[in-house]
Amino acid sequence: MDQKFPFTSYDFWAYLSSGFMLLFAVDQAAGMNLLMRDSWTVVQSAIAISLAYTVGQLVASLSSWLFERGLVGKLLGYPRNVLFGQNKAWPWVQGLLPAYFAPLPPATQKAVLEKSGKVGISMPGEALFWPAHAAGRATPAVAARMDNFLNLYGFCRNTALVGAVDAAILYASYLQPKGPQEHLLWARIALFIGLGMTLRYLKFFRHFALEVFTSYAYSKELEKKP
């Protein structure tokens, strides 16, 4: 982002946006409508942005634990393993998400493992991921694509969690005596967004690993001068 803007792209998409979405649901459920005001002072804007950023950081920590360690780590399997055909998910789960579980072409898998063999790594997994990741970061064009996927999957992951939480908050508000009827509709929309963004998160999380390994497999090593 522009250097005059005090946040990076990841800050904006992964933290500020999810923080504001969660604050909006709380604001509506409490009936305060603080975020719907027509004008803002500089101090109010600074406080709102700081609060949204802080909430977004907390959301990111929780979503990382729930989605990356829970959903992906425990149920689906990390892309760094799935791309090499190491699937641990139940067959019916693989049937629901065929795109996520599609492996790399055999030739690409072979190219990655041949290159990693030069540094003593012969099996897919975390140990293979990090040298491939480091190689990608050393190439500006690849690093830019990796950063783009990082921003996308971070935004989708946090938004997915906020969508589910917002749906629960708004539905609870609807159930209260004299609860606003529109909160039921908003809760349904939030739940739909949460489910949809979960699928988008899985897509971009896989694409991040895909970029890491394909660039590693087919990148040209710099020739050493004698």
Residue 225 belongs to a domain: no
CA atoms of 51 and 43, how far apart (whole Å): 12
* CB atoms near residue 184 (< 10 Å): 15
- Note the pLDDT of residue 7: 61
Q: Residues 69-86: what's their mean pLDDT?
A: 96
Asked if residue 171 is part of any domain, the answer here is yes
| Residue located via tokens 């090593």 | 221
Whether the per-residue pLDDT at 224 is higher than 50: the answer is no
H or E element at residue 97: none
Segments forming the whole domain that contains residue 163: 9-218
Least-confidence region, from 95-99, 136-140, 162-166, 217-221: 217-221
| 70 within a domain of the structure (yes/no) | yes
Residue 130: pLDDT band (50, 70, 90) is: very high
Judge contact between 160 and 197, C-beta under 8 A.
yes
In a domain, 75, yes or no: yes
Answer yes or no: is 201 within a domain. yes
Q: Is residue 3 part of a domain?
A: no
More confident residue, 14 or 226: 14
pLDDT in tens, 33-53: 888 877 888 988 889 989 999
Overall domain count for the chain: 1
Q: Is residue 2 part of a domain?
A: no
For the chain, what is the mean pLDDT? 90
Q: pLDDT at position 37, please?
A: 77
Per-residue pLDDT tens over the stretch 144-192 = 999 999 989 999 999 999 999 999 999 999 999 989 999 999 999 999 9
How far apart (Å, rounded) are the C-alpha atoms in residues 187 and 167? Answer: 4
Residue that the structure tokens 């999810």 belong to: 18
Residue 54 lies in a domain: yes
